Amino acid sequence: MLTDTHVHLNAPQFDEDRQEVIQRAFDNGISRMINVGFNRETIPSSIALAEQYECIYSTVGWHPQDAKDMTPEDLEWIEQLCRHPKVVAIGEIGLDYYWDTSPKDVQDVVFRQQIRLARKLGMPIAIHNRDAHHDIIQVLREEKAAEVGGVMHCFSGSWETAKQCLDMNFYISFGGPVTFKNAKQPKEVLDKVPLDRLLIETDAPYLTPHPYRGKRNETAYVKLVAEAAAQIKGLTLEEIAQITTQNAIRLFDLK
């Protein structure tokens, strides 16, 4: 019983074989998937998937890369969709200083608006952070994100940063990179994250784990992430599956 807490099953990379990909996830023991809707195109298709499959849930939010396109109407739209029974979090939201497709000050405003919305609605938030550790922590702190908590998706920061997130009621989620031989830091951080705050994900079709690195990622491979986590924590695959699934159920209030 595994849970993929961050996946993009509505991405065009799955247009040819989406149903088979979801079936392979079931066949590999993945019982719940949280699909991410993060802009005007992906929000409706993510919700449609969640309506089609009982075990798929959806987030809604505005990605920092698209921050410059978000209008006040979009924010109202997100607020309305948060009342949908299959919507479980606001995300992915945050800051992305790697691609830099939206100006930093615009990303900052859009990020803060969505944290305020999450606090108003009492929804957890899913955080995307690329090369922005310092500013992410500062915004989360200033906007009192600890009130709702959430998840740091595909965490890539230091233990120092992880600790600050844990202090603000966040879970730490790990993906494919913890399976890479040379990924020292994520493995060290995973080792230190308390078991009751640990989540796993694929971020498929991106961030494919070893030994499929370079190919398209898919939800079934969350098992490889779970195996790596089990090895690092000195637990069995079954124990890690149960712990991370219970954590996901608690954070996202899943069935």
Q: Which residues of the chain form contacts with Zn ion (CB under 5 A)?
A: 92, 128, 203
Q: Report d(CA 126, CA 124) in Å as an integer.
A: 7
CB of 234 to Zn ion, least distance (A): 29
CB of 153 to Zn ion, least distance (A): 6
CB of 238 to Zn ion, least distance (A): 27
Cβ-based neighbours of 115, under 8 Å, separated by 6 or more: 93, 125, 139, 140, 143, 144, 145, 148
Nearest residue to Zn ion, by Cβ distance, number only:
128
Beta bridge partners of 252: none
Phi and psi at 125, nearest 5°, equal -120, 145
Angle at which helices 222-233 and 237-252 cross, to 10°:
110
CB of 235 to Zn ion, least distance (A): 26
Nearest CB to Zn ion, comparing residues 92 and 143: 92
Nearest CB to Zn ion, comparing residues 2 and 132: 132
CB of 6 to Zn ion, least distance (A): 6
Nearest CB to Zn ion, comparing residues 118 and 230: 118
Cβ contact 176:8 at 8 Å: no
Nearest CB to Zn ion, comparing residues 186 and 230: 186
Q: How much of the chain is helix, strand and coil, in % rounded to 5? A: 50, 20, 30
Nearest CB to Zn ion, comparing residues 37 and 226: 37
